[in-house]
Amino acid sequence: MTPDKGLTGRNILIAGATSGMGRATARDAARAGAGLVLLGRDRVRLDEVVHEASDLGAGSVLGIQADAADAPALSEALQGHAAALRDIDTLVNSVGVNIVDRAFVNLTADSWASMIATNLNAAFNLAKVMVPVFRARGGGLLINISSTAARKPDPSGAAYQATKAGVMAMTHAIMEEEWQHGIRATVILPGMTETPLLEKRPTPPTEEMRAKALQPEDIAEACMFVMCLPERAHVSELMIQPAKR
């Protein structure tokens, strides 16, 4: 669902924009005419998606190299872009990782902390930047991409499930606290999706499994659905799973 210029006049910050669901969402939002601020850690891939979004018709595109998991580094990267941030009305957080050695008995203090830093702290850091912006604007939309692992046990590992559940809980808490300021917060829970994260499985998925997986474009469609709703409508939580198992 990418209505022709249906997001013209909107300004969207997408974190984790250089691959997977974030990049697919950037493409769809660009086609719909949104102004985009794209965050990613990899400069080369960030430049690629910036050019791609511009070619697809984005109202404007700004790429910022930043590690959202590192609060001081994120703050430093955003310095000098205050005017662009003031115009942001929507945040899409697609930052997320997993590790190969994910079994609970094999987790270490370092691997546990690294998962919290990327999956949970990044969501927190981004929200801490944008919620005050939304308050000042009189409203805004925050979308966090979590996982079905936040709702049900699966083989994704204790650290992944714990951090994704944390993202889900934080999103609901922000909505509970901030709705009176015009802020809407949505958490999207995708099932298995064909992204680079699949390469982090202890046993790589078979081609048959990949064929049944969701595609990043499916999650982008969900983000577009939420972003195109009128401000009177709020989607608190949206779970998307592969139709075939």
pLDDT at residue number 4: 60
pLDDT of residue 196: 80
CA–CA distance, 140 with 11 (Å, rounded to integer): 10
**pLDDT score of 210:** 87
Instruction: Give the C-alpha separation, 55 to 213, whole Å.
Output: 29
Main-chain phi, psi angles of 223, to 5 degrees: -60, -40
What is the rounded CA–CA span in Å between residue 237 and residue 187? 5
The reported pLDDT for the residue numbered 5 is 66
- What pLDDT, on a 0 to 100 scale, did the predictor assign at position 204? 82
Q: 3-state DSSP call for residue 146?
A: coil
pLDDT, residue 79, reads 93
Low-confidence ranges of the chain (pLDDT < 70): 1-5
Return d(Cα 165, Cα 159) in angstroms, integer. 10
Question: DSSP strand E in the chain: where?
Answer: 11-15, 35-40, 60-65, 90-93, 140-145, 183-190, 237-240
User: What is the pLDDT, as a whole number, of residue 99?
Assistant: 94
pLDDT at 203: 82
